[in-house]
Amino acid sequence: MLGPPDCSLHSVSTITMARTHLSSSMEHRGRRVRQLCRTRAASGKFSASIRQARRDNAGMGYEDEHLVTGLN
């Protein structure tokens, strides 16, 4: 007797791809924010860049970080 199709392999590879994409985009964002901080610190606008980095993180970083951690 044939059971339902086995979707486990597909879902695992999809999760892995999503996790890889998510962590690389977060890594890229982190590098961009750090670079921005160094640039603005040199020009005396450091606190503004920190506030912008916090806004960026509130928009994407922390929620997705929990998602990635949960998939490990």
34-68, pLDDT tens digit by residue? 776 666 555 655 566 666 766 666 655 455 555 55
Neighbour count for residue 53 (Cβ, 10 Å):
19
The whole-chain average pLDDT of the chain stands at 60
In a domain, residue 33? The reply is yes
Assigned domain for 6 exists: no
Q: Is residue 2 part of a domain?
A: no
The answer to whether residue 14 sits within a structural domain is no
Which structural domain, as residue segments, surrounds residue 61? 26-71
How many structural domains compose the chain?
1
* Angle (nearest 5°) at CA 61 between 55 and 66: 140
pLDDT confidence of residue 72: 43
Does 13 reside within a domain?
no
Determine what percent of the chain is predicted with pLDDT higher than 90.
0
Residue 1, domain member (yes or no): no
Residue 17 within a domain? no
Q: What is the pLDDT of residue 67?
A: 52
